[in-house]
Amino acid sequence: MSETSDLSDFRSDDDQSEYEPPPPPRKRKKKLKNENLWKKNVRKLKRSLGEEYTSARGKKVSKKVFKHVTTCCSKKCCIKLDQNAQRRLFCDFWNIGDKAHQDSLLLSCLEKVSKLRENVGPGKLKRDNQWKYFLTVDGLKINICRKLLLSLLKISENG
């Protein structure tokens, strides 16, 4: 009986209540992603603000700097805008900082007009519409040429 009593002592309720399972592994906080600090997004933001940045291929792209446009076309569109108006338009465009908003601003400067007359020669394609370019300065809609718009805002035709 002494052996059974030893075993019963070993399996007492007190021993089972003192047994604690190992603690569960601690849940660690996941690092939150901050997309604003990604190189790609920093580059994109700097490009849309007209600031200097390094391209994805490592080429350094210089900052967009205002330059007063004095020559553009035979219609002398640049005379319609003085230097202060040109500077204001340039700064307003580049301070937007969002490519989608800049594109919508450019689209608001365009107006599709049907052609008044056609001079189609042999081998030439017939165009149905033409585009006119306007800038709004002090509430006035000023007709300008494409070359002035592109050179004033320091943008290319492709994008």
For residue range 66-124, what is the model confidence (pLDDT) as tens digits? 999 998 888 888 888 899 999 999 999 999 989 999 999 999 999 988 877 667 667 66
Tell me what the mean pLDDT of segment 23-49 comes to: 90
Q: What CA–CA distance (Å, rounded) separates 111 from 21? A: 75
81, 90 contact by CB (below 8 A): no
Run of H or E including 84: helix 83-95
